[in-house]
C-alpha cells in the first residue's frame, strides 16, 4: 500500500507536466482555430480578404495588424468597401469568431432582412457578451424583460420622462461645468469624462431615480461596469470554454466589485419599492412608484412566471447594470463626437449651426407632441 502511494507521489509531477502540456496545446488550437477556418474552409474560400491573399500565415499577420495597427487596417477596409462587389473577410481577434465579414452598403438592407434562423442577432450577442459572466447569469438574456420595458418607457412613453431628464441634465451641467467656470466664463475639460458624468447622472434619473442618480459612488461603479464589459468580452474571447469556469471569475473581479458597490446603494431602494408594491397588492390598488425603469422592471418581475428568481433585490441590481450598459457607451460616444464636430467648425459656421439647432429645438418643443417619436427621429 505504501509502495503504491510512493509511486503515485513520484509520478505526480510528470502528470502535472503532461496535463499542463495538453491544456497548453488545446488552448493554442483554440486560438488558431479562426485562422484555420478562414484559410482552409471551403465555406469562406470565395471571399476576398481585406489585405493580401488568403492563407494561414497571412491571417496571423493581419490579426497582428488588427490589434496593433487597427486604424491603418480599417482605413484600407473602408476604401475597399467603396468599390467591392461582395463581402470582405477581415481578421478581428476581439470577435467571438475571430474574424468579421464586412458588407458593402448595397448589401446591408438585404442582410438586415434575413430571418433569425439565418442571421441571429440574439446568438451573436450571447456569444459576444458572455452573459453568464458579464451579466452574472444567462437569465438577463434568456428572460429579456428589459427590451419591452425600454420600448414601452422610452419609446411609447418618452414624453413622460423628458421633463425629469431635462431637469437632471441642467443640474448636472451646472454642477459639473457652470460652477467651475473661470472669471472669463471658460473651462478646460476632458470631453469624454465630462459627457460620461453628465449623461450617467441624467440617464440614471430615468433608470433608477432619486437618490441613486445623484450618488457619485453608485454612478462611478455603474459607468465602470458598463465600460469594463467590453474588456471582459475581449479577454474571455481568448480563454477556451473548458477553462472559463476556472479563469472567468478572475477576469470578472472588476465587474464583481462594481456590482457590489451598486448593490450596496441600490438594494435599500429596491427593497423599499418592493414593500410599496406588496402593500399596494394587499390594499388592491396600484402602487405609487417613481416614474423610472427600475419601477417598471419591479412590476414586470413581480408578475413574471419565474418571479422567485426575477423578483429579488440582486436580480434587480443585475437589471440596473444591464440598463446602464445599454445607455452608457453609445450615448457618451455620440455626444462627445458631436461636440468635437461642432468645435472643429469655423467660427462663423459654428455660430450659425448652434443658432439654427437651438431655433429648431425651441420650435419643436413648443408643439403639443414634443418628444414624439417623429420629433426625436
pLDDT higher for 222 or 111?
A: 222
- Report percent pLDDT > 70 for the chain: 94
Give the tens place of pLDDT for each residue, 333-361: 888 999 999 989 999 999 999 999 999 88
Rounded Cα distance, 297 and 55, in Å: 50
Quick check: 318 pLDDT over 90? Answer: yes
Quick check: 362 pLDDT over 70? Answer: yes
H/E segment holding residue 72: helix 70-83
Q: Is the pTM of this model over 0.75?
A: yes
Position 206 confidence tier, pLDDT thresholds 50, 70, 90? very high
The angle subtended at Cα 23 by Cα 22 and Cα 24, nearest 5°, is: 90
The length of the chain in residues reads 377
Mean pLDDT of 107-117: 86
Rounded Cα distance, 180 and 345, in Å: 25
Give the C-alpha distances (Å, rounded to integers) separating 14 from 8, 10, 28. Answer: 10, 8, 21
Residue 91 — left, alpha, or beta (φ > 0 → left; ψ -120 to 50 → alpha)? beta
Position 42 confidence tier, pLDDT thresholds 50, 70, 90? confident
Mean pLDDT of 135-164: 81
pLDDT recorded at residue 304: 87
pLDDT recorded at residue 20: 87
Q: Which residue has the cell 468635437?
A: 340
pLDDT recorded at residue 298: 95
Mean pLDDT of 210-218: 95
Cα 59 to the center of its chain, rounded Å: 28
Position 365 confidence tier, pLDDT thresholds 50, 70, 90? confident
Q: Which residue has the cell 433569425?
A: 116
What residues contact residue 354 under an 8 Å CB cut-off, 6+ apart?
Answer: 342
Instruction: Calculate helix-pair angle for 253-283, 293-303, nearest 10 degrees.
Output: 70
Instruction: Calculate helix-pair angle for 244-251, 253-283, nearest 10 degrees.
Output: 90
Cα 113 to the center of its chain, rounded Å: 24
Give the tens place of pLDDT for each residue, 234-243: 888 889 989 9
H/E segment holding residue 99: strand 99-102
Q: Which residue has the cell 470578472?
A: 252
Q: Using an 8 Å Cβ cutoff, are 339 and 191 in contact? A: yes
Q: Using an 8 Å Cβ cutoff, are 132 and 251 in contact? A: no
Q: Which domains are present in the chain?
A: 33-113 (no CATH), 142-327 (1.10.630.10)
Rounded Cα distance, 38 and 373, in Å: 43
pLDDT recorded at residue 161: 82
pLDDT recorded at residue 300: 92
Position 374 confidence tier, pLDDT thresholds 50, 70, 90? low
| The three grid cell numbers given for residue 8, joined into one nine-digit string | 503515485
Q: Using an 8 Å Cβ cutoff, are 292 and 203 in contact? A: no
Amino acid at each position: 500500500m505504501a509502495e503504491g502511494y510512493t509511486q503515485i507521489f513520484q509520478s505526480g509531477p510528470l502528470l502535472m507536466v503532461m496535463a499542463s502540456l495538453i491544456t497548453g496545446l488545446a488552448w493554442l488550437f483554440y486560438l488558431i482555430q479562426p485562422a484555420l477556418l478562414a484559410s482552409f474552409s471551403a465555406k469562406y474560400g470565395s471571399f476576398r480578404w481585406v489585405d493580401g491573399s488568403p492563407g494561414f500565415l497571412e491571417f496571423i499577420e493581419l490579426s497582428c495588424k488588427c490589434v496593433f495597427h487597427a486604424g491603418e487596417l480599417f482605413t484600407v477596409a473602408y476604401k475597399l468597401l467603396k468599390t467591392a462587389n461582395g463581402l470582405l473577410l477581415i481578421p478581428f481577434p476581439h470577435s467571438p469568431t475571430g474574424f468579421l465579414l464586412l458588407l458593402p452598403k448595397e448589401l446591408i438592407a438585404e442582410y438586415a432582412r434575413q430571418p433569425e434562423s439565418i442571421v441571429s442577432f440574439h446568438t451573436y450577442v450571447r456569444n459576444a457578451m458572455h452573459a453568464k459572466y458579464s451579466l452574472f447569469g444567462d437569465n438577463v438574456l434568456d428572460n429579456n424583460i428589459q427590451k419591452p420595458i425600454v420600448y414601452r418607457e422610452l419609446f411609447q412613453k418618452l414624453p413622460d420622462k423628458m421633463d425629469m431628464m431635462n431637469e437632471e441634465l441642467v443640474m448636472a451641467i451646472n454642477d459639473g461645468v457652470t460652477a467651475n467656470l473661470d472669471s472669463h466664463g471658460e473651462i478646460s475639460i476632458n470631453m469624454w469624462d465630462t459627457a460620461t458624468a453628465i449623461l450617467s447622472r441624467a440617464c440614471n434619473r430615468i433608470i433608477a431615480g432619486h437618490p441613486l442618480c445623484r450618488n457619485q459612488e453608485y454612478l462611478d461603479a455603474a459607468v465602470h461596469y458598463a465600460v469594463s464589459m467590453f474588456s471582459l468580452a475581449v479577454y474571455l474571447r481568448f480563454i477556451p470554454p473548458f477553462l472559463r469556469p476556472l479563469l472567468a471569475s478572475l477576469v470578472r473581479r472588476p465587474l464583481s466589485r462594481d456590482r457590489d458597490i451598486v448593490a450596496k446603494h441600490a438594494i435599500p431602494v429596491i427593497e423599499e419599492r418592493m414593500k410599496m408594491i406588496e402593500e399596494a397588492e394587499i390594499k388592491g390598488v396600484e402602487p405609487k412608484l417613481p416614474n423610472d425603469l427600475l419601477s417598471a422592471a419591479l412590476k414586470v418581475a413581480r408578475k413574471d412566471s419565474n418571479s422567485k428568481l426575477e423578483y429579488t433585490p440582486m436580480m434587480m441590481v443585475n437589471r440596473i447594470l444591464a440598463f446602464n450598459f445599454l445607455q452608457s457607451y453609445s450615448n457618451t460616444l455620440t455626444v462627445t463626437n458631436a461636440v468635437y464636430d461642432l468645435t472643429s467648425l469655423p467660427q462663423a459656421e459654428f455660430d450659425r449651426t448652434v443658432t439654427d439647432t437651438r431655433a429648431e429645438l425651441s420650435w419643436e418643443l413648443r408643439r403639443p407632441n414634443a418628444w414624439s417619436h417623429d420629433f426625436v427621429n
